[in-house]
Structure formats: C-alpha cells, structure tokens
C-alpha cells in the first residue's frame, strides 16, 4: 500500500530484574505503512505493551532499530523523543489517563501547550475536537464527573490535539462495555478512513479485530504471524 511509516528491525527489549534477565521482545521485525489500521493481539504478558511503548518513543529498545518516518529513533535523547511524541503520536490508554485536576477542555489543550500553541488557537482546537467526540456540553467538567466512555472520548480528543500521524491505543476498550467499545472503534476507524491516520491498537476483543486491515499476532515476545484482512 502506502510508504513505510514505522519499521522495527530485530527489536529486543530485555528487562534486568536483579540477577535475572527477561526478554520481553525477542528480535521483532515489523513494518507498518502510513495510513494502516493495525491490531496487535496476543496473550497476556506476550510483549504487546512493550512493543507499543517502543513505537510510542516512551522507552528505548535494548537492541535493534526503530525507524519512524525513516528516522532512527532508537538512540535519541529524552528531549528529542519528547518532541516526536508531542508532534507525531497520539496516545489512548486503557485507564484513560486524564489529568484529574484539569477540566475536560484543559486536558485536550494540554498537548498543544507543550507545543507552545497560542491559547486561543488551542482552545478552538479543543472545542472542535470535543464537539467531534460529542462532548461539547461537558467541556468544563472535571474527568471525575464523566462516565468511563466519556472519559475515553476525551482521551481520544486529546490524542488528536496536535493532529498526529500515528494513534497508539493500548487496549482502549479494556475498561468499557462492548457497546461503548464499539463506538470508540468506529470512531477510530473513521479517523483511519477519513483522515488517513495510522492507527495501532492492542486488543483482546476479537470482535474489534475485524476493523483492522492487518493483525499482528505476538506470542512470547515474538511475532507469530501477520494477517491481512
């Protein structure tokens, strides 16, 4: 399909736990094209989150190379990684991870503040995104005043704030009922088809896997197979 956006080459992640070493990823090779919708599935503890964190520049690999937009990020410093995260990647977490002391709108504006976007612009963008996820009547609420599904919609709006190329969602529906989960996935699918965003989700729910064009099966830190649907 399109050009390669993310390229993992012989990627290892080894955790040192005292005397014992534990390899969470054992030489993973994977290419993800721009605009792809990828689902990552596998048993618990197989290394899905570990891989997502590496793609998301939240962690550095023990060995191997990660290329984002052909740039090797596996040896970058923390502040360069922060730049990449802030500009290119939107995160959606299982636990929503909103800042509890900030209002819904402030949460959505936060990534733009790190990019030093003017407040008025950030506010407009925030309101626009919250309207997109159907929360325009909740902008001044605190996260604690929202339901789980609503919180995740705020998190989606936040992940889109800087208009990133890549959305990483690690079990985004894990804490939601199946109906809300479906809504979230439909929304992400819309972003994929309408805006051409590259979306990578980790999920256990096989009903949601069908949204993906490409399914990556991970087991024991290795890629078992890659399916195209």
Partner 1 sequence: MKLIKAFKHALNMVRHSKLRSWLTIIGIVIGVASVVSIMSIGAGLEQDITSRLSGMGADLSTITPGFSKASGFSHRMPSGGGSAGGATATDEEVVLDRTDVQVLKSIPEILLINTEIKGSAEVYYLGKRGAVTLTGVDQKVWAQITTLEIRDGRILGPADQNVIVIGGRLADDYFEKPLGINKMITIEGGSFRVVGILDDRSTNIYMPIQMAYQVLDDKETDIYDSIIIKIKDEGEVDYVTEKVEQKLMMTRHVTEKDKDFTISSSKQMEEMRSEMVSSLTTFLTAIAAVALLVGAVGIANTMFTSVLEKTKEIGIMKALGARNKDILAIFLLNAFLIGLIGGIIGVILGYLLSGILPALMGGGGITGRVASAGSLVTIESVLLSLSVAVGIGTLSGAVPAYQASKLKPVDALRYE
Ligand X SMILES: Nc1ncnc2c1ncn2[C@@H]1O[C@H](COP(=O)(O)OP(=O)(O)OP(=O)(O)O)[C@@H](O)[C@H]1O
- Give contact residues for partner 1 (rule: CB under 8 A): 53, 56, 58-59, 78-79, 82-83, 85-87, 91, 93, 97-99, 101-102, 110-111, 113-116, 158, 162
Instruction: Answer for the pair 49, 170: CB distance below 8 angstroms, yes or no.
Output: yes
- Per the DSSP assignment, residues forming a β-bridge with 8 are 30, 66
- Residue written as token pair 């704030």: 161
Minimal distance, residue 104 CB to ligand X, in Å: 27
Interacting partner of 87 out of ligand X, partner 1, Mg ion, none (Cβ under 5 to 8 A depending on kind): partner 1
Minimal distance, residue 27 CB to ligand X, in Å: 15
Minimal distance, residue 220 CB to partner 1, in Å: 20
Interacting partner of 101 out of ligand X, partner 1, Mg ion, none (Cβ under 5 to 8 A depending on kind): partner 1
Minimal distance, residue 52 CB to Mg ion, in Å: 8
Report the candidate in 23, 13, 2, 25 with the shortest Cα–Cα distance to residue 196: 2
Minimal distance, residue 40 CB to partner 1, in Å: 17
Instruction: Answer for the pair 107, 158: CB distance below 8 angstroms, yes or no.
Output: yes
Residues in the chain: 229
46 vs 183, beta carbon nearer partner 1: 46
139 vs 212, beta carbon nearer Mg ion: 212
First-to-last alpha carbon distance for the chain, in angstroms, is 13
Strand ranges inside the chain, DSSP E: 4-17, 20-33, 37-41, 63-68, 71-72, 89-92, 166-170, 198-202, 214-219, 222-228
49 vs 103, beta carbon nearer Mg ion: 49
Instruction: Answer for the pair 62, 137: CB distance below 8 angstroms, yes or no.
Output: no
Site string for Mg ion, 25-54 (x = CB under 5 A): ------------------------x-----
160 vs 176, beta carbon nearer ligand X: 176
Judged by DSSP in three states, 171 sits in coil
Which residues make up the interface to ligand X (CB under 6 A)?
Answer: 15, 17, 22, 24, 42, 44-50
Report the candidate in 200, 228, 210 with the shortest Cα–Cα distance to residue 48: 200
User: Can you give the binding site for Mg ion, defined by CB under 5 A?
Assistant: 49
């Amino acid at each position: 399909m399109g050009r390669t956006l993310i390229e993992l080459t012989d990627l290892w992640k080894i955790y040192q736990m005292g005397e014992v070493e534990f390899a969470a990823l054992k030489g993973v090779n994977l290419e993800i094209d721009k605009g792809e919708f990828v689902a990552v599935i596998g048993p618990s503890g197989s290394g899905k989150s570990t891989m997502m964190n590496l793609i998301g520049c939240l962690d550095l690999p023990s060995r191997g190379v990660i290329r984002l937009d052909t740039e090797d990020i596996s040896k970058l410093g923390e502040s360069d990684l922060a730049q990449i995260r802030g500009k290119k990647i939107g995160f959606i977490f299982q636990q929503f991870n909103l800042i509890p002391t900030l209002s819904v709108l402030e949460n959505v504006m936060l990534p733009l503040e790190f990019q030093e976007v003017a407040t008025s612009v950030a506010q407009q963008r925030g309101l626009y995104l919250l309207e997109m996820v159907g929360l325009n009547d909740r902008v001044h609420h605190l996260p604690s005043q929202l339901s789980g599904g609503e919180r995740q919609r705020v998190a989606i709006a936040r992940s889109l704030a800087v208009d990133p190329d890549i959305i990483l969602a690690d079990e985004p529906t894990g804490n939601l009922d199946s109906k809300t989960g479906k809504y979230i996935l439909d929304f992400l699918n819309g972003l994929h088809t309408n805006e051409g965003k590259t979306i990578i989700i980790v999920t256990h729910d096989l009903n949601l896997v069908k949204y993906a064009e490409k399914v990556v099966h991970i087991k024991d830190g290795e890629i078992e197979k890659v399916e195209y649907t």
